[in-house]
Amino acid sequence: MPRYYTQDHEWIEVDGASATVGITDYAQSQLGDITFVELPEAGAIVVKGEAPCVVDSVKAASDVYSPASGTVSESNAALADEPELVNTDPESGGWLFRLTLSDPSELTSLMDKAAYDAFVAGL
């Protein structure tokens, strides 16, 4: 399944009209120990570039911007008890929320893995 990346260090993996969103390993390494994740509720409408989700560390609260628009179908319930999954497994078990995409064409502006890796290397 195709996976795309943003310059704000989110990833989105697309499966037909559905997509899963998380933050990258680079992002979690910059944030430090994650203590809490404020997740959107199922049914919430999100717009590309807006922040439906906040990731807290001890001394910072960081917005997570949605890489695409759509309706939230599910949030990662495991993060309520184990926010540290975002640190230990950011690009799999530490996913944040799932979307039903409203405009899949938005994805074309995002980076693929190679482009994102090059972007991070340049930071």
Partner 1 sequence: MRYLPLGDGERAEMLEVIGAGTVDELFVDVPAEARLAGPIAGLPMHASEMAVERHMAALAGCNLSAGSVPFFLGAGAYRHHVPASVDHLIQRGEFLTSYTPYQPEIAQGTLQVLFEFQTQVARLFGVDVANASMYDGSTACWEAIAMAGRVTRRAKAVLSGGLHPHYVATAATMARFTGDMLDVGVPQLAAEPDDAALIAAIDGETSCVVVQYPDVLGRIPDLASIAEAAHAQGALLVAVVTEPVALGLIEAPGKLGADIVVGEGQSLGVGLQFGGPYLGLFGCRDKFVRQMPGRLCGETVDAEGRRGFVLTLSTREQHIRREKATSNICTNAGLCALAFSIHMTLLGGEGLARLARIGHDRARAAAARLTRIPGVTVLNSAFVNEFTVILPRDAREVVRELADRQVLGGVSLGRLYPQAGELANGLLVATSECTSAGDIEALATALEGVLA
Partner 2 sequence: MNAPNQSGWRPEMGSADAAPSATASGDKALMLEEPLIFELGRPGTCGVDIEAPETDVMPSLARFLRAEAPALPGLSEPEAVRHYTRLSRQNYAIDLGPFPLGSCTMKHNPRLNEKVARMAGFADVHPLAPQQSVQGALGVIAELADWLTALTGMAGVAMSPKAGAHGELCGVLCIKAALEARGETRKVLLVPESAHGTNPATAAFAGFAIENIPATAEGRVDLAALEARLGPDVAGVMITNPNTCGLFERDMKRIADAVHAAGGYVYCDGANFNAIVGKVRPGDLGIDAMHINLHKTFSTPHGGGGPGSGPVVLSAALAPYAPLPFVQRQGDGTMRLVEEEDGAHEAPASFGRMAAFHGQMGMFTRALAYILSHGADGLARVAEDAVLNANYVLRSLENDLDAPFAASGPCMHEALFSDAGLAEGFTTLDVAKGLIDEGFHPMTVYFPLVVHGAMLVEPTETESKAGLDRFIGSLRSVARRARQGDPALKGAPHFAPRRRLDETQAARKPVLAWQGDRAADQVKPKGAG
- Residues near partner 2 (CB under 8 A) are 33, 35-36, 56-59, 83-84
**Distance of alpha carbon 7 from its chain centroid, rounded?**
12
- 38 is in the binding site of which of partner 2, partner 1, none (Cβ under 5 to 8 A by kind)? partner 1
Cα 27 to Cα 62, 86, 102, 118, distances in angstroms: 10, 10, 26, 15
- 25 is in the binding site of which of partner 2, partner 1, none (Cβ under 5 to 8 A by kind)? none
User: C-beta of 58: minimal distance to partner 2 in Å?
Assistant: 5
Q: Does 42 bind partner 1 (CB under 8 A)?
A: no
- 84 is in the binding site of which of partner 1, partner 2, none (Cβ under 5 to 8 A by kind)? partner 2
Task: List residues near partner 1 by CB under 8 A.
Answer: 35-36, 38, 56-61
